[in-house]
């Protein structure tokens, strides 16, 4: 089947656990993380561009302000990698319709890169397996393989080695957004600074967390959420502590900085119960926006052809 273009829908994520080991000589940290894909999506359109147009990138959507459209964008790098690796026509037009917060610790940039990989595979009929796509994805960034797989998965290594995890039920989230993003390397650096001189053990997945997921027990999951980068994110952005307090006061089952932040993810019992917390956060003056989402949801997949 030959098409002019494809639209790939890709989810954002929260880290239910993020355990960070010591800094390795390659500049990365060994991590053990549990990802959940949630229902905030970017739609990535990949089309053939006009002759000699090269790789072009455009953006729209609620969270697209300030997103670069040049080769610094990870989605552009993903297209370049595929074009070079598979000797494809350079003329690829990519459009990102963004809903996932930018630099928010929710893998928005990684989602767009994952969407480009899946979109180019479909458009050029490369027939790559999910495993092959995830290996290419890992060259682009630590979170990109999970954006392809979606669902709930354990990430090891840099977070890029993905193993699907057993889970039951649907989990409901209230996400407190910040006006300004945080840089992932800066948060990891701050984590190292705060832990200087401490013995850091090998990161391991939490038994209670995995049990809670297997049982579909959101109360137990709320208690088991953990993130070793949270102290660092709060140190760089002290207002995050106030945001976390609002969650405690308004009945969240648990609250956590997502990844390297600054988005704070609150687990709530069900979508109805999230209203109080949504109103309280909006009124608190310490967040720039509040959105609701649920998970797990699927990873990057083609939703329409053009
Ligand atoms: O892999 P990615 O490009 O997303 O990583 C961005 C930065 O985050 C890295 O350059 C590194 O500073 C930090 N990082 C890390 N350990 C990881 C993942 C990311 O130190 N496991």
Which architecture, in CATH terms, is 5-165?
2-Layer Sandwich (3.30)
Q: What angle do CA 143, 252, 180 make, to 5 degrees?
A: 50
* pTM confidence score: 0.96
Residue found by looking up tokens 């074009």 in the block: 83
For the chain, the first-to-last Cα distance in angstroms comes to 12
Of ligand 1's listed atoms, the one at least distance from the Cα of 110 is: 4
Q: What is the largest CA-CA distance in the chain?
A: 59
| Ligand 1 atom showing the smallest separation from residue 157 Cα | 21
User: Measured from the CB, is residue 124 less than 6 Å from ligand 1?
Assistant: no
CB 13 within 8 A of CB 155: no
Q: Where are the domains of the chain?
A: 5-165, 171-295
SS3 147: helix
C-alpha–C-alpha distance, residues 69 and 164, integer Å: 33
Ligand 1: centre distance to CA 28 (Å): 6
Strands of the chain (E only): list them.
5-23, 29-48, 55-60, 92-97, 152-156, 161-164, 171-177, 226-227, 254-257, 264-268, 289-295, 301-305
**Nearest-CA residue for atom 19 of ligand 1:** 28
Establish whether residue 141 lines the binding site of ligand 1, counting it when its CB lies within 6 angstroms of any ligand atom.
yes
Burial of 280 from C-beta contacts in 10 A (0-12 / 13-18 / 19+): middle
Domain 171-295 annotated CATH 3.40.50.720 = no
- pLDDT, tens digit only, all 306 positions of the chain: 578 999 999 999 999 999 999 999 999 999 999 999 999 999 999 999 999 999 999 999 999 999 999 999 999 999 999 999 999 988 999 999 999 999 899 999 999 999 999 999 999 999 999 999 999 999 999 999 999 999 999 999 999 999 999 999 999 999 999 989 999 999 999 999 999 999 999 999 999 999 999 999 999 999 999 999 999 999 999 999 999 999 999 999 999 999 999 999 999 998 777 888 999 999 999 999 999 999 999 999 999 999
In whole angstroms, give the CA distance from residue 274 to residue 262: 20
Question: Whose structure tokens read 């057993």?
Answer: 166
């Amino acid at each position: 089947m030959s098409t002019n273009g494809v639209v790939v829908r890709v989810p954002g994520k929260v880290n239910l656990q993020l355990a960070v080991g010591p800094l390795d000589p390659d500049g990365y940290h060994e991590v053990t993380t549990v990802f959940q894909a949630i229902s905030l999506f970017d739609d990535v359109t990949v089309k053939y561009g006009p002759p000699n147009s090269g790789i072009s990138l455009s953006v729209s959507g609620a969270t697209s302000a300030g997103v670069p459209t040049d080769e610094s964008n990870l989605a552009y790098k993903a297209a370049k990698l595929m074009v070079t690796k598979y000797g494809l026509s350079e003329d690829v037009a990519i459009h990102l319709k963004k809903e996932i917060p930018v630099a928010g610790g929710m893998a928005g940039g990684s989602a767009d890169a994952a969407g480009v990989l899946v979109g180019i595979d479909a458009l050029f009929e490369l027939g790559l397996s999910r495993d092959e796509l995830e290996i290419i994805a890992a060259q682009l960034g630590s979170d990109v393989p999970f954006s392809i797989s979606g669902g709930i998965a354990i990430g090891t290594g840099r977070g890029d080695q993905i193993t699907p995890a057993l889970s039951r039920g649907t989990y409901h989230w209230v996400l407190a957004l910040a006006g300004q993003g945080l840089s992932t390397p800066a948060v990891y650096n701050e984590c190292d600074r705060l832990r200087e001189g401490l013995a850091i053990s090998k990161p391991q997945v939490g038994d209670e967390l995995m049990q809670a997921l297997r049982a579909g027990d959101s109360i137990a999951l709320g208690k088991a959420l953990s993130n070793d980068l949270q102290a660092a994110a709060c140190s760089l952005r002290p207002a995050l502590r106030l945001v976390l307090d609002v969650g405690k006061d308004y009945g969240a089952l648990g609250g956590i900085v997502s990844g390297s932040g600054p988005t704070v993810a609150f687990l709530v019992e069900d979508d109805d119960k999230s209203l109080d917390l949504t109103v309280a956060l909006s009124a608190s003056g310490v967040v720039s926006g509040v959105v609701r989402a649920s998970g797990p949801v699927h990873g990057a997949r083609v939703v329409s052809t053009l």
